[in-house]
Amino acid sequence: MSTTLKFTVLLLALGFCRGLLDNYIDEEETEAPDAQASKFGSLWPLPQKVQISEVSFKLTSSSFKIVDAKESSAGPSCSLLQDAYRRYYEYMFGSTKKLGLSKSRRTGPSELTELQVWITSPDSECDDYPSVTSDESYELSVDLPFAVLKAPKVWGALHGLETFSQLLYEDEYGAKSVNATTISDFPRFAHRGILLDSSRHFLPIKVILANLETMAMNKFNVFHWHIVDDQSFPYLSRTFPQLSQQGAYHPYTHVYTPADVKMVIEFARLRGIRVIPEFDTPGHTQSWGKGQKDLLTPCYSGSKPSGTFGPINPILNTTYDFMNQFFKEISTVFPDAYVHLGGDEVDFTCPIQTFSSSWNSTGFKQDYSKLESFYIQRLLDIVTTTNKGYMIWQEVFDNGVKLKPDTVVHVWIGGGSNEEMEKVTAAGYTTILSAPWYLDLISYAQDWQKYYKVEPLNFNGTEEQKKLVIGGEACLWGEYVDATNLTPRLWPRASAVAERLWSAKDVTDINDAFNRLSMHRCRMVERGIPAEPLFSSYCPREYKGI
Amino acid sequence: MSTTLKFTVLLLALGFCRGLLDNYIDEEETEAPDAQASKFGSLWPLPQKVQISEVSFKLTSSSFKIVDAKESSAGPSCSLLQDAYRRYYEYMFGSTKKLGLSKSRRTGPSELTELQVWITSPDSECDDYPSVTSDESYELSVDLPFAVLKAPKVWGALHGLETFSQLLYEDEYGAKSVNATTISDFPRFAHRGILLDSSRHFLPIKVILANLETMAMNKFNVFHWHIVDDQSFPYLSRTFPQLSQQGAYHPYTHVYTPADVKMVIEFARLRGIRVIPEFDTPGHTQSWGKGQKDLLTPCYSGSKPSGTFGPINPILNTTYDFMNQFFKEISTVFPDAYVHLGGDEVDFTCPIQTFSSSWNSTGFKQDYSKLESFYIQRLLDIVTTTNKGYMIWQEVFDNGVKLKPDTVVHVWIGGGSNEEMEKVTAAGYTTILSAPWYLDLISYAQDWQKYYKVEPLNFNGTEEQKKLVIGGEACLWGEYVDATNLTPRLWPRASAVAERLWSAKDVTDINDAFNRLSMHRCRMVERGIPAEPLFSSYCPREYKGI
C-alpha cells in the first residue's frame, strides 16, 4: 500500500534541528537525538486525540487538491472555505517548484491526491461571524483513497486545514509526505485571544493582518484590539471624526479608516477570528480629550483649572450623550456580540473641583472610586441598549459595579489572580485570564516555558466555577513594540498560550512541547512570519527579511 | 541671505514625536514640548564640537550634489567615496519624489547645492583597509555657497557624510532643509565594535550586510564576527572544507563561502568598518570536531572513551599542525591586522585519559588550566608567525599566558570588570570593554539607558593606564537571535554604546540623548532598518515590513 519509514526519521527530515537538541537539555543528553523527537511531529497546538501510523503517502503539487465533499453543506459558493483551500495549498506547496506535469499524470500507488472537506451540519455558518459559542470541532482522517476533514461548521474546518497542513513533512529527498492519521479535535477553551495595542504605537494594517494570519496558524480565535488609549486615538469615527483628527499621532497616516477596520474584521472572519475592540474608559483616555471638548475631567490647581485633565468627566450629561452616540457607532462597525469597555487603572491624582455645585449634586464628593462606579454603571447601561455584551477589566468587578450576567470579567493583575478567578466565578461571572500572559514583559531566555506552564483552572472553586472560565488572552501592550519588532516578539511566545488554551489539560510535557514548537516556529518562518527562535538552532529555510 | 526659522520648530518638523515626549518624563511635564527638543537635533552620536546657527538653507534632489573638492587627494577613481556619495544622496532624498526639473533650473538664493568633500592628506587611504590607527576625524562646514567636508583620510569623510545627512530635516512643508553649521569631530575611542554570533544561529549574508549598514549610521568601526562556536561551523575553509561540510547546520545553505566572506569584508571596508573574525579555541569548539578527526580531547568514562569530547586536544602535535595551516588561511582571508582568538570559558568537566603516557609527558597531569595555557601559548606563537596581532578574552590574561605587547585583552565578565580593566592596563596591555554591553541579555523597558550610562574609564588607574583602553564592543550573542529578530533587538540599543564610544566624556544628558536617539531611530527606520522604538511614540514614516 505504501512506503513505510520510521516516524522518527521522518521528523528529522521535517526540520528537526540538531544543534537545538544538543544544547537544550544539558543534563539529559542521550546518544540518540531522535529519541527526543515528538511522536506528534510538528503539531501545534496538540489536537485532543491523535493517532499517527507509520504508513506514509506522498503528495505532489500537481495532483493534490482540496475539495468540498459531495455531502458537504458548504459548496463552491462558500468563499471562506474556497479562500482557505487556496491559502493552505500555498502553505503546503508554496516553496515547492511546480512540476508542470499534465493533469493526466498517473499518480503513484501511495500518493494522496485529495483532501475532502465535509461540513456536516445543515448550516455551515459560512457567511456568519464566529462567536464564543461557535463549534470549532473537526475530525480528520488521512488515508487512501482520500483524506477527509469533517466538521459541523466552517470554523472547525479552518482548524482542520491548519492541522492537515501541519501533518505534512519532507522526506529525505524533499518529497512532501504525510502519514496515515486520525485526529479528533476541539478546543479546551472557547476564548483564545491576542491583545494588540495600536495606541502606544500605531500598527500599520499590514502588521495587524500578518498577526491575524499567524493567530490562525496557532488556532487563536479572538483579536482583542486595544485600539485607542492615552497616547493616541487612531480609530477614525464617522460620528466624531475630530477624535482621530486631533487625537491620532497623525490624522492621515496614523489612523484606521472605516475601510481599514472592515478589512481587518473580514480578514479575521475568514480565519475564524473574532475582533473585539476595546474602547477603554474612564481612564486611559487622554487622547479622547483632544478632539472632544469637555469630555475629560479638568484638573484643578487650587480653585483654577490647571490645564491638565483626568479621566472621562462623570458628572456632565454631555458625557453620556457622547458615549451613547459613540457606542452606537461602535456597535454597528464591529459585528462581534461583545465589546471590551476597559475600566482599568483609573488615575485619581487629578485634583477636581470638589466645591462646585455640580460635584455636590452627585453626592460623591471626594470618593473617586464611587464616582468611577457611577460612570461605569451608566456606560454599561448605554452599551446594553446597543444589544452588545461587554467585557471589562477586573477592577470594574472589584469595585462592585452591577454587571449583566453575560459580562466577561478580564483578570489581568499579577499576584492574586487565582484568588480573583475564584471570586469572579463565585459571583457567577464568566471570566478570561491574562495575568500570567503579559508578553510585553520580556526577559532573557526561554520565557515561553513560563507561559506554557500556567494552568488557568488552578484556583479553588467548584466544577461550576471552573466552567465559567472560558479562556484567556496573551497581551502584547504597545509601549515597546511597533511594526519593527512586534511580530518576532509575539511569536512563538504566544504559541505557548495557544496550546495551553486549546489542548487537553494533561498536555504539559515541556520537552515534547519544545520539540514540536521548534518545528512549528520554523513553519511560521517558512510561511513568511518572522517568529523568533526558541534557542540555538536553525531552520531549513531561514527568514528572508532582515 | 536666507530664510530663518526657529530651530526648535524645525526639530518638530523633522520627526519629533508628541506622544513620546508627553509620556517619557512624567514628573517634569512642561507645557511647551519643544523645550525638550535637543538643540543638537537628531545628531547621533553627538560630534565633539557642534555649532548650529538659526540660518537655514533648502536642498532639492534635482540640484544638490556631493562632489570631490578640487584640492582633494581623492578623485573620481576613489570608488569608496563615489559609492558613499550615492548612498548618502539616496538616504537624503530617497523618500522624496524627484522633481524632474531641468538642470538649468535657477536655484533660490538660500539653496544649498553642493557638498564638497576634501581629503586633505596626500594619501587618502581610499583603497586601504581601516585599522585601529586610522584617522577618522573630519570637519564640516555647512554654509553658502558650498558646504565643505574636510578630512585627512576617507574614513573621516565617511563619518562626515553621515553627520551631514543627519543635519537634514524637513520643514513644515516637507522641504529638505539644513542649518548653517560648523562641526569638528573625531572619535573618543578608536575601537567601536559590534559582536555578532553566526554560530548559535546562522545569519544570512543579507542580515550581516544590513547590520554593517546600520553600524555605519552609528559610526561603529569594528565588526567582531564570532563566526564559529560549539553549535555550528559555517565558515567554509578552503584548506579544511570538511569543517563546514560536517560542522555547519547545513553544508550548502548555512555556510559562508569565500565569496561571501570577501563580500562582507569589502562591504564593511566601504563603510570604514574593520572585520575581525573570531575563531575561539580551545573551548567552544564542538563543531570543529565533526570535520576534523582527533582535534578535540576525547572524554573518558573510566578507562574507555565515552564518545563525547572536550576542548581542543592540547597534547597532540597534529593539533598544532592543523592550527598552523588553519590560521595561515585565516590570515590571508581576513585583511585586518588582528584576529580574535577567543580563549574564554574552557569547559574542564571532560574526564581525560590522565594515565596515558602522552599526558604524562606534558607534565601537567590534572592541572587543566595550565594545560589550557600551554595550548594558548603555542597558538599565539603560531598566529604571530602569520604576522597578525591578536585579541583574546580576558581569561587568557587572567591565566598568566605570555602575551605580545600589542595584544588586545577583551574584558567581558560582568561584576569586577573595573578591577579587571585596572589589572590589564596595569600590566601594560591594550584593552576593550564589553562586560556592561551584552545586548543579548534583554529586559523590560528602556535598557539602552543602562548601556548609555557606562563610563569605560571609570576604574582606578593612571592616565597612562586609561590610554590603553582603546574602546569597547556591544555583543549580541546568538542563542536567541537570528534573521527574524536580530536587527530590531540590536538597534537602537547598540546606538547607546555607539555614542558612549564616540562622543566626548561629558555627553551624558539622558533626556537630551532620549530626544536625539528617538529621532535617530526613526531615521534608521526610514532607511529601511527595523530599529525598535524606545517608548510610546511614532515615526512619521513607519517601518514598511512586518
Interval A279-301: pLDDT, tens: 999 999 999 999 999 999 999 98
Provide the strand spans (E) within B93-151.
114-119, 138-142, 147-151
**Positions in chain A whose pLDDT score sits under 50:** 1-35, 355
Q: Which of B358-367, B377-386, B433-442 is least confident?
A: B358-367
What is the 3 state secondary structure string of B60-96?
Answer: CCCCCEEEECCCCCCCCCCHHHHHHHHHHHHHHHCCC
CA nearest to B251 within chain A:
A540
pLDDT at residue B369, as a whole number:
75
Which residue in the block uniquely carries the three cell numbers 597532540?
A: B316
Shortest distance between the Cα of B196 and any Cα of chain A, in A, equals: 14
Q: Is B156 helix (H, G, I), strand (E, B) or coil?
A: helix
Residue partners of A17: CB distance under 8 A and separation at least 6:
A518, A522, A537, A538, A539, B249
Distance (Å, rounded) from C-alpha B509 to C-alpha B507?
A: 6
* Widest CA span in chain B: 89
- Helix B7-15 × helix B510-526 angle, to 10°: 50
pLDDT at residue A135, as a whole number:
98
Residue A354 in grid coordinates: 470638589
Shortest distance between the Cα of B200 and any Cα of chain A, in A, equals: 5
pLDDT at residue B99, as a whole number:
53
Q: Is B520 helix (H, G, I), strand (E, B) or coil?
A: helix
Question: Mutation test of the interface with chain A: which of B17, B532, B546, choosing the one with the most A Cβ atoms within 10 A?
Answer: B546
Which residues in B lie closer than 8 A to residue A201 (C-beta atoms)? Answer: 533, 536-538
Distance (Å, rounded) from C-alpha B365 to C-alpha B354?
A: 6
CA nearest to B489 within chain A:
A485
pLDDT at residue B22, as a whole number:
35
Q: Which of A211-225, B6-20, B91-105, B107-121 is least confident?
A: B6-20
pLDDT at residue B302, as a whole number:
85
pLDDT at residue B104, as a whole number:
61
Mean pLDDT over B112-137 rounds to: 98
User: Residue A309 in contact with residue A298, Cβ under 8 Å?
Assistant: yes
pLDDT at B34 over 70: no
Shortest distance between the Cα of B77 and any Cα of chain A, in A, equals: 32
pLDDT in tens, B244-277: 999 999 999 999 999 999 999 999 999 999 999 9
pLDDT at residue A215, as a whole number:
99
Q: Which residue out of A345, A455, A464, A542 is catalytically annotated?
A: A345
Question: What value does the mean pLDDT of chain B take?
Answer: 91
Q: What one-character-per-residue DSSP string does B480-493 give?
A: T-STTTHHHHHTTH
Test A543 with B482 for CB contact under 8 angstroms: yes
Which residues in A lie closer than 8 A to residue B200 (C-beta atoms)? Answer: 19, 536
Test A202 with B230 for CB contact under 8 angstroms: no
pLDDT in tens, B401-418: 999 999 999 999 999 999
User: Residue B166 in contact with residue B495, Cβ under 8 Å?
Assistant: no
Distance (Å, rounded) from C-alpha B321 to C-alpha B422?
A: 36
Shortest distance between the Cα of A163 and any Cα of chain B, in A, equals: 24
Which residues in B lie closer than 8 A to residue A535 (C-beta atoms)? Answer: 479-480
pLDDT at residue B315, as a whole number:
92
CA nearest to A205 within chain B:
B546
CA-based nearest residue to A148, from A118, A185, A111: A118
Which residue in the block uniquely carries the three cell numbers 574609564?
A: B457
pLDDT at residue B14, as a whole number:
37
User: Residue B117 in contact with residue B72, Cβ under 8 Å?
Assistant: yes
Distance (Å, rounded) from C-alpha A139 to C-alpha A512?
A: 23
B416-426 in b/e form (b: 16+ CB < 10 A) is ebbebbbbbbe
Annotated catalytic residue A345: yes
Distance from CA of residue B245 to its chain's centroid? 29
pLDDT at residue B361, as a whole number:
56
Other C-beta atoms within 10 Å of A117: how many? 27
- Choose the CATH number for A49-94+108-185 among 3.40.50.720, 3.30.379.10, 1.10.4160.10, 3.40.50.2000: 3.30.379.10
Question: Measured between CB atoms, which of A483, A542, A543 is closest to B543?
Answer: A483
Task: Write A289-296 long-range contacts (CB < 8 A, 24+).
Answer: A289/A247, A290/A233, A290/A243, A290/A246, A290/A247, A291/A233, A291/A240, A291/A242, A291/A243, A291/A244, A291/A245, A291/A246, A291/A247, A292/A240, A292/A242, A292/A243, A292/A322, A294/A318, A294/A319, A295/A319, A295/A322
Question: Mutation test of the interface with chain B: which of A23, A290, A484, choosing the one with the most B Cβ atoms within 10 A?
Answer: A484
Test B484 with A307 for CB contact under 8 angstroms: no
User: Residue B253 in contact with residue B64, Cβ under 8 Å?
Assistant: no
Indicate the CATH number for domain B191-356+364-527: 3.20.20.80
Distances (CA, A) of A330 to A129, A205, A283, A340, B437: 16, 19, 19, 11, 48
pLDDT at B449 over 70: yes
pLDDT at residue B433, as a whole number:
98
Q: Is A240 helix (H, G, I), strand (E, B) or coil?
A: coil
Question: Measured between CB atoms, which of B442, B488, B535 is closest to A442?
Answer: B442
pLDDT in tens, B502-522: 999 999 999 999 999 999 999
Beta bridge partners of B223: B194, B275
User: Residue B112 in contact with residue B164, Cβ under 8 Å?
Assistant: no
For residue B377, which amino acid is it?
Q
pLDDT in tens, A144-203: 999 999 999 999 999 999 999 999 999 888 899 999 999 999 999 999 999 999 999 999
pLDDT at residue B348, as a whole number:
81
Distance (Å, rounded) from C-alpha A157 to C-alpha A168?
A: 17
pLDDT at residue A351, as a whole number:
80
pLDDT at residue A363, as a whole number:
57
End-to-end Cα separation, chain B, in angstroms: 45
Distance (Å, rounded) from C-alpha B60 to C-alpha B114?
A: 10
Question: Measured between CB atoms, which of A18, A210, A533 is closest to B201?
Answer: A533
Q: Which of A33-37, A92-96, B17-21, B218-222 has the highest mean pLDDT?
A: B218-222
A272: left (phi over 0), alpha (psi -120 to 50) or beta: left
pLDDT at B19 over 50: no
Which residue in the block uniquely carries the three cell numbers 466645591?
A: A355
In B363-471, alpha helices (H): 368-385, 394-398, 417-426, 448-452, 463-467
Shortest distance between the Cα of A479 and any Cα of chain B, in A, equals: 5
Percent of the residues in chain B that have a pLDDT greater than 90, as a whole number: 83
Mean pLDDT over B126-144 rounds to: 98
pLDDT at residue B100, as a whole number:
54
Test A253 with B536 for CB contact under 8 angstroms: no
Which residues in A lie closer than 8 A to residue B201 (C-beta atoms)? Answer: 533, 536-538
Question: Mutation test of the interface with chain B: which of A199, A523, A546, choosing the one with the most B Cβ atoms within 10 A?
Answer: A546
CA nearest to A533 within chain B:
B480
Q: Which residues of B are catalytic?
A: 345
For residue B299, which amino acid is it?
C
pLDDT in tens, B319-344: 999 999 999 999 999 999 999 999 99
Q: How many CB pairs under 8 A join A and B?
A: 163
- What residue spans define the domains of chain B? 49-94+108-185, 191-356+364-527
Distance (Å, rounded) from C-alpha A296 to C-alpha A351?
A: 13
pLDDT at residue A20, as a whole number:
36
